[in-house]
Structure 1
Amino acid sequence: MLVCWELQYSFARDFLFKGNVIFSGILLLFLSACGVDQYSSENSSTAYEETEVLDESYTEMIEVESQKERSEVNSTEETNPAEEAAADSVPIVPVKDETGIIPAHLEIPSIKVDAQVDGYGLDEDGKMEVPDEGESIAWFERGAKPGTQGNAVLAGHVDDRTGPAVFYDLNKLEEGDEIIVTSEDGEAYTFLVSHKEAYPYDDAPIDVVFGKTSSRNLNLITCTGEFDTNAGTHRERLVVFTELKE
């Protein structure tokens, strides 16, 4: 029987300085009270928020370098009339929107997951709100959107008072399995499982799961490992890492 599920957070200011980029307000997570009576399984949810401030001179430097490179390329290129005419005859292919989507539905065919996704933020106490129902999935809406550059994060229960829940079989996923995320208006992105890792509940690599990246990732989280009655939670967190299918 699931007793309760609570997420607690604390902010660490001025966490990292790298070049002219200042990372601050890193949201650290502490998961607790993922209690189970006789029915033991795995639960999870988590959150992270990162803001950055770019030094203006650094930004200007990047823009100047970009303009310089474009000028150099333009000055060395010679236009061929035949090539130009051929280029004009090629139809324009729309570029897929890379701003991501607000997820409304998640499908994982290999483990028969077909579930609703809802956005959750933080409550007044700084704790992440999570679904009351075991079959719903939480998207941390203060993080990245699925399909955009970054680590989008979804979390789900693995059991509730009635038995197995939405992410009960998450640990069965294998490399190459498809994860399909769909928005309210039907726009869909497909992700492929790259790998999965289990981490101690109090020592998960927050930057790897929630941090910045140039890839378009979707990370799925739940609990795993033995239940620690003293800590009131499972000893590990399972993270399934997936990448956008090109």
Structure 2
Amino acid sequence: MAFLLLLTGCGGTDRSIAGHAEAGAVPQADDVRTVLGPSPATRLRIPEIGVDTGTFVDLGLKPDNTMEVPEGAETVGWYDASPTPGERGPSILAAHVDWQNQKGVFFDLRTLRSGADVLVDRADGTEVRFEVTEVEQYSKDDFPTEKVYGDVSGAELRLITCGGDFDRGAQSYRDNVVAYATMISSDG
């Protein structure tokens, strides 16, 4: 199932996105990983940067095919066309670096290091532990769409916020910060 998605605002880029994981996609036999069924996130914790929030909203597409961005400094948005955390594929969580002169949930995302834990509690009572594998900053003009949104065989997270210099004319940051994380375990 291919689709077109353009991101703008805090979580955004102006690149199109194709190759979203298909429901029921089968991974290669040598790369089968444990994944969970669908269940929305109810809490996100990233101890290394002091994130602990239970404020989530679903993000869809605006009429111009750009992804909505969450309202408010403390809100995390889950892109509802992506898998829920723990399902096969890259689950997309976006939050602001700042919002109306307040630190946003992902203010310190750029400081995360490989190996950091990201813990997601789900509505089904499962806690999923992800481990950060890398954190990158990209110019919105050179955003690696396939790397961020493309198919993966396991359960992964993409945490996205703004970064770099603020463009006053556009009222937007010039870059995006993306933290990549892979599911390590689940319990519950």
- The answer to whether structure 1 residue 174 and structure 2 residue 151 are counterparts is no
- Cα drift, residue 230 of structure 1: 4.1
Does the C-alpha gap of structure 1 residues 236 and 125 become closer, same or farther in structure 2, counting only changes over 3 Å? closer
| Amino acid across the alignment from 2:11 | S
| Amino acid across the alignment from 1:225 | G
Which blocks of at least 5 consecutive residues in structure 1 are unaligned?
1-22, 33-42, 54-65, 67-95
Which blocks of at least 5 consecutive residues in structure 2 are unaligned?
23-28
Where does 1:53-72 land on structure 2 (aligned, <5 Å)?
A: none
Residue aligning to 2:3: 25
Give the distance between the partners of 2:71 and 2:160, measured in 1 at CA.
17
- Cα drift, residue 150 of structure 1: 0.9
Report the secondary structure of 1:245's partner residue. strand
> Given the alignment, which residue of 44, 52, 57 partners 2:11?
44
Check the 8 A contact 1:134/1:157 in 2, yes or no.
Answer: yes
Residue aligning to 1:77: none
Report the secondary structure of 1:110's partner residue. helix
Check the 8 A contact 1:174/1:193 in 2, yes or no.
Answer: yes
Give the distance between the partners of 1:182 and 1:48, measured in 2 at CA.
28
Using the size of structure 1 for normalisation, the TM-score is: 0.62
Give the distance between the partners of 1:30 and 1:120, measured in 2 at CA.
11
| Amino acid across the alignment from 1:221 | I
| Amino acid across the alignment from 1:164 | K
Give the distance between the partners of 1:31 and 1:215, measured in 2 at CA.
27
| Structure label with greater radius of gyration | 1
- The answer to whether structure 1 residue 106 and structure 2 residue 14 are counterparts is no
Give the distance between the partners of 1:112 and 1:244, measured in 2 at CA.
20
| Amino acid across the alignment from 1:203 | D
Residue aligning to 2:159: 220
Residue aligning to 2:134: 195
Residue aligning to 1:9: none
Give the distance between the partners of 2:40 and 2:21, measured in 1 at CA.
23
Give the distance between the partners of 2:149 and 2:156, measured in 1 at CA.
10
Does the C-alpha gap of structure 1 residues 24 and 130 become closer, same or farther in structure 2, counting only changes over 3 Å? closer
- Cα drift, residue 190 of structure 1: 0.7
Give the distance between the partners of 1:114 and 1:50, measured in 2 at CA.
31
Report the secondary structure of 2:77's partner residue. strand
The structure with the largest helix share of the pair is 1
> Given the alignment, which residue of 239, 242, 246 partners 2:178?
239
Give the distance between the partners of 1:160 and 1:51, measured in 2 at CA.
29
How many residue pairs get aligned? The number is: 173
Check the 8 A contact 1:104/1:181 in 2, yes or no.
Answer: yes
| Amino acid across the alignment from 1:146 | P
Report the secondary structure of 1:171's partner residue. helix
Does the C-alpha gap of structure 1 residues 197 and 97 become closer, same or farther in structure 2, counting only changes over 3 Å? closer
Residue aligning to 1:164: 103
Report which structure shows greater RCO (CA 8 Å, sep ≥6).
2
| Amino acid across the alignment from 2:48 | S
| Alpha-carbon RMSD | 2.7
The structure with the largest strand share of the pair is 2
Over the matched positions of the two proteins, sequence identity in percent amounts to 33
Residue aligning to 1:3: none
Check the 8 A contact 1:103/1:118 in 2, yes or no.
Answer: no
Give the distance between the partners of 2:111 and 2:40, measured in 1 at CA.
26
| Amino acid across the alignment from 1:31 | T
